[in-house]
A and B are shown apart, each in its own frame.
Chain A
């Protein structure tokens, strides 16, 4: 066996563990992958409730994932969730603002486009196929539809607070970090949201 001419040659022949810094990067990437896989569908639904459009929701989630991975991937894992939702909420707000401006400029604009996938992903469709839990699923789908429309009628900050606290299960501190406001504001927004939703949904729920 020839003697190693360079350090690189030795690394090539080495079958032990990779250099420590490389290991750390691989671990971090694996953790990030795990985190994103865990939140992506929930984030998509949260964006979809706010935006009423599957493609726009996908764009916003994709953008949030990219920004988190690029700019904050090296941050401790515990910081990812509030950061991710902050990026997501900013993306949702930006898109809503752009839509509002577009609507103002083009009064003849048809508004948020109808999502052709809405029907495909409508839970009622799967219910129609039949099954032992069909009535229960039908009721769930109907109740969720009511909840979504009630959420859309809420002020944006109340909706954000409700979705992050209730849907995503974040604590007050995490929600405050994600919304960029104080914990007191989160509590106020959340309690107002719950109060309004309860009033609106009381009859149909």
Chain B
């Protein structure tokens, strides 16, 4: 390794600097502390917004919107009176399948399930217990 071992001159410089750091007054220390917290808070803000919308929300939202759109469209009386309905139905159902099976979305959902598997076990147990309680 090429790292040089510091001689006494360099060592002395380092010790003097360390001592001067120790001598920083309380006002400066306090301001540095405040600045650090402000920096961390500022960095946290966009993350906090992101946390409120978990990763899988976008995939789930797109899927839900697709299902709702298809349901409304299929339920419309117009659908039975136009000649292109069958084609459109097929095409929209295909779209729905594509949306629902998007690799990214599916990956996110599976990742979420793997990450929080304890939580989902617990939630399933609680729900099962509640159901059996209400039946019995």
Contact = CB atoms under 8 A, between A and B. Distances in A.
Interface of A: 1-4, 7, 10-11, 13-14, 16-17, 19-22, 25, 29, 32-33, 36-37, 40-42, 44-45, 54, 58, 61-62, 65-66, 68-70, 73, 117, 120-121, 123, 126, 140, 143-144, 147, 162, 166-167, 169, 171-172, 187, 194, 197-198, 201, 205
B93 to A, nearest CB: 27
Contact of B118 (A16, A22, A147): A16
A66 B17 contact: no
Given A19-B115, A62-B38, A69-B40, A45 B25 contact: no
B82 interface: no
Given A3-B131, A117-B25, A166-B13, A62 B126 contact: no
A10 B35 contact: no
Nearest to A71: B43
Contact of B126 (A4, A41, A120, A123): A4
Contacts of B32: 40-41, 44, 58, 61
Nearest to B7: A194
Interface of B: 2-3, 6, 9-10, 12-14, 16-17, 19-21, 23-25, 27-29, 31-33, 35-36, 38-40, 42-44, 47, 51, 54-55, 112, 115-116, 118-119, 122-123, 126-127, 129-131
Shortest 8 CB-CB distances between A and B: which pairs?
A69-B43, A20-B115, A62-B35, A65-B39, A10-B123, A69-B39, A167-B17, A66-B39
A69 B55 CA distance: 22
A173 to B, nearest CB: 10
Q: Pick the most buried of B20, B25, B29, B42: most chain A CB atoms within 10 A of its CB.
A: B20
Given A16-B118, A42-B21, A58-B31, A1 B14 contact: no
A22 B130 contact: no
B127 to A, nearest CB: 5
Tell me if A's interface is mostly helix, strand, loop or mixed: helix
Tell me if B's interface is mostly helix, strand, loop or mixed: helix
A140 B16 contact: yes
A189 to B, nearest CB: 14
A16 B122 contact: yes
Contacts of A62: 35, 38-39
Given A4-B123, A73-B43, A169-B14, 4 more contacts: A45-B17, A61-B32, A66-B42, A121-B25
Contacts of B17: 42, 45, 144, 147, 166-167
A149 to B, nearest CB: 13
A97 B10 CA distance: 29
Contacts of B31: 58
Given A19-B115, A25-B47, A169-B14, A117 B28 contact: yes
Contacts of B39: 36, 62, 65-66, 68-70
A41 B24 contact: yes
Given A16-B118, A41-B29, A171-B3, A33 B21 contact: no
B36 A33 contact: yes
A45 B118 contact: no
A62 B41 CA distance: 13
